[in-house]
Structure 1
């Protein structure tokens, strides 16, 4: 018997005993999802605003963000404060974007992640190259867990998409938390009633 065969036989002989997968209880109630989402999003560094209509976004943006910054949005309703048609742009031309306002399709309460398909991101790089990111999520599209989010998106044909939660952050360097190290320095979520 070769060394290889001895090693493989030893590995095969020392396999752990099979155990059943744990039972996962997934909450089915939609009650309190907005509050849970807001609590988690705030804890990971996002700002959350509950809004009644998209016009409120314009007021918040003008108060919170530098008016001289380049603003891009996937929402046509934002055309008076942002560029809304960048699909034909070269992604390299987005290096100076100060704020991107994008629509998220799903929000997950357990981790405050938002699912943004490429059609809403306009360019794959936009949610990650912008200095500040704002996502608009309908309260009716909040789900309790990632399990349920995957059930919703599982059969869709969406190409590229990303789950985004909070601003970019790292604590690799000298164990000091740095926001915006690899992406947006801030994240704002607008929960639309």
Structure 2
């Protein structure tokens, strides 16, 4: 049988088109539960600090992180005095970043994931190359499920975006838990009340 005959037979034997299933029942009406979000993040190995304003971040960083040589904060109000000249280069200028503080667009209560895009983080590699990652998110932006998150996101308008949940870890290597294998060793969430 010739190639053309095989392809013609395949084309002729296509299944009927079917409508995609309705997934609207999986979403939930209303806001997500910040307490549930916090519990999941902590279960994943992260820590959540509920704050009233950005001014509280500086004291929390000083209390919980020692020996930080290079800190990058996307917004000056997150941590006054943090590195400001880090955006230019091919990413290697960030190899010694100990802590990066970035904004998150939304969080998901069911799995502790936080949606970040390159429009906020500016350099794609930043949340993955840093030793420790802190994400600032408003508790009003916590959604119940991933279905709700995708409904809000719609079609992404940036070239890069990701859900980040917990510190990076793997147990694939001789079944030993390794932190920071594919990203930051720790995740801290500053959740604005």
**Partner residue of 2:151?**
151
**Distance in 1 separating the partners of 2:144 and 2:107:** 9
Task: Give the TM-score taking structure 2 as reference length.
Answer: 0.85
**Distance in 2 separating the partners of 1:47 and 1:69:** 21
**Partner residue of 1:57?**
57
**Partner residue of 2:78?**
78
- Relative to structure 1, the CA distance from residue 102 to residue 23 in structure 2 (aligned partners, 3 Å threshold; closer, same or farther) is closer
**Partner residue of 1:42?**
42
1:124 CA drift (Å)? 0.6
Q: Is the 8 Å Cα contact of residues 58 and 81 (structure 1) preserved in structure 2?
A: no
Q: Is the 8 Å Cα contact of residues 86 and 122 (structure 1) preserved in structure 2?
A: no
The 5-angstrom pairing of residues 107-186 of structure 1 reads 107-186=107-186
Structure 2 unaligned regions, length at least 5: none
- Relative to structure 1, the CA distance from residue 29 to residue 70 in structure 2 (aligned partners, 3 Å threshold; closer, same or farther) is same
**Distance in 1 separating the partners of 2:145 and 2:151:** 10
1:80 CA drift (Å)? 2.2
- Relative to structure 1, the CA distance from residue 22 to residue 151 in structure 2 (aligned partners, 3 Å threshold; closer, same or farther) is closer
Q: Is the 8 Å Cα contact of residues 71 and 97 (structure 2) preserved in structure 1?
A: yes
- Relative to structure 1, the CA distance from residue 68 to residue 173 in structure 2 (aligned partners, 3 Å threshold; closer, same or farther) is closer
**Distance in 1 separating the partners of 2:170 and 2:54:** 32
The 5-angstrom pairing of residues 65-104 of structure 1 reads 65-78=65-78, 80-104=80-104
**Distance in 2 separating the partners of 1:68 and 1:105:** 26
Q: 1:124-181, CA deviations, whole angstroms, 9 ceiling, x for partnerless residues?
A: 1000000000000011111111111112221452221111111000010122221111
CA RMSD in angstroms comes to: 2.8
Pick which of 174-183 and 150-159 moved more: 150-159
Structure 1 unaligned regions, length at least 5: none
Paired residues, number: 192
